Amino acid sequence: MRKTAPLWIALALTVSAPVATRAQAGACDRACLEGFVNQYVDALVARDPARLPLTRTAKYTENGVELKLGDGMWEPKGHGLIQALLHRS
């Protein structure tokens, strides 16, 4: 479970800003949130963080260490973990 923490932390940080903005306007329901999650997973699988709707001040961390978005799990060596998480039943 500890290895999956960076994915869920990154996911929470990634979707929190846009979702918070839409939620304040009352426009982000379950389908809206699922859309952000799907967009994040698609970008992660493609290893293309440019696909994410992030602000210029967004930060990315893994295990408490700030990294450049695109490093860490986004690199090819993290791809096996991503695939394992996505294909879990």
How many separate domains does the chain show? 1
Say whether 4 sits in a helix, a strand or coil.
helix
Side chain identity at residue 44, one-letter code: L
pLDDT in the model for residue 41: 84
Q: Calculate the dihedral angle through the C-alpha atoms of 6, 76, 42, 12, rounding to the nearest 10 degrees.
A: 10
> Would you say the pTM of this structure is higher than 0.75?
no
pLDDT in the model for residue 89: 45
Residue numbers of the domain that contains 13: 2-86
Full pLDDT tens readout for the chain, 89 residues = 455 555 555 555 555 555 555 545 568 898 999 898 889 888 988 889 999 988 889 999 988 999 998 888 877 766 666 667 666 54
